[in-house]
Amino acid sequence: MPHVQFQSSVVLRPEFKAGADVVACVNAAPQAPRLLDQLRNRIRVLHYSIRTEQAYVDWARRFILHNNKRHPCEMGATEIERFLTHLAVERNVSASTQNQAKAALLFLYREVLGISLPWLTEVITAKISQRLPVVLTEREVRDLLLQLNGTSWLIASVLYGTGARLLECLRLRVKDVEFDRREIVIRCGKGNKDRVTVLPENLMAPLRQQLVTVRALHQLDLKAGLGDVWLPGALAAKYPSAGRAWGWQYIFPSPQRSIDPRGGRERRHHLAEQSVQRMVSLAAKRADISKPCTPHVLRHSFATHLLQAGYDIRTVQELLGHADVSTTQIYTHVMNRGGRGVLSPFDKI
């Protein structure tokens, strides 16, 4: 995508003479941060996630390019409504994507440009449709897992065995697994909240073996003068050596090291989401599962199978990390309160 940059003009005071004095003044004048850099800085000040930062910056860039690189200060309600209409009508984006674009533009005007736009909150919000989640049967889950092996099998098993989201699973650190208490602590989940979920007994041995492999990889990084992982908040400044400590290492590290987009340091991050999504999709095809199958489907299956086993919905709510029980109630469609629990009049004929 083309690079967007707005240059601030320099106004010379009349008392300056042409020549070296003017050049020195222009060179000494502080350059204001570019608009997208201002947006990034404001997002980081408010401690938004890096995913939110990437999404908001991308939507701001698209909005500017859609309007022939005009500065947002020169635009208003007409341009924003036209852009959102373009997304819905011509790009045919989903309701959630359209609402995300609106939220990004609202943040840009309110938090970065300092422009009060009371009309922007009144711009129509797309209605998100309620859809029932895709759920695998226990047999389909078993067939899916049989088509996986190694680290991919372990990740899929953790997703189904704990109900964690994919990114929550990949972000697990060594210190987050409590073998004695049979618990896994999910840190910085959705809404930046922590929670505790169950550690399946049948996954304890595979997880211990995974930690042995990860520790050997960590030792190699330390010998190479690396081995430092990203730490949340200001922990890296308060505890400079904590990033190399064993407890902070990712349980599912990437096989390659990469450059931290915020700090610029070479680190070993966790596995990429896309690689796990691709492996699960291919495994579903090999297992001849006709349903659309993603790693998140295993979380849906975890909740559904717990309710089928008779566990209380409040317990399932806590394990999933839902803020409201109404979100968890969507999984009750599989119980005998819906279509399967009703005797159709056709069966009486």
- Other C-beta atoms lying within 10 Å of the C-beta of residue 136: 23
Active-site residue, selected from the candidate residues 42, 195, 269, 322: 322
* Cα distance between residue 153 and residue 144, in whole Å: 9
Active-site residue, selected from the candidate residues 34, 175, 296, 333: 296
193 as an active site residue: the answer is no
268 as an active site residue: the answer is no
Active-site residue, selected from the candidate residues 190, 244, 257, 265: 190
* Cα distance between residue 294 and residue 22, in whole Å: 61
165 as an active site residue: the answer is yes
Which amino acid, residue 257?
R
Complete DSSP assignment for 144-156: HHHT--HHHHHHH
Active-site residue, selected from the candidate residues 109, 160, 250, 331: 331
Identify the burial level of 331 via C-beta atoms within 10 angstroms of its C-beta, where 0-12 means exposed, 13-18 middle and 19 or more buried: buried
Strands (E) across the chain are located at: 177-178, 183-186, 195-198, 258-259, 266-267
333 as an active site residue: the answer is no
Active-site residue, selected from the candidate residues 165, 173, 270, 300: 165
Active-site residue, selected from the candidate residues 269, 299, 300, 305: 299
Nearest Cα to Cα of residue 113 among 52, 55, 58, 33: 33
299 as an active site residue: the answer is yes
61 as an active site residue: the answer is no
* Cα distance between residue 58 and residue 196, in whole Å: 34
Complete DSSP assignment for 274-333: HHHHHHHHHHHHHTT--S---HHHHHHHHHHHHHHTT--HHHHHHHHT-SSHHHHGGGGG
Active site residues: 165, 190, 296, 299, 322, 331
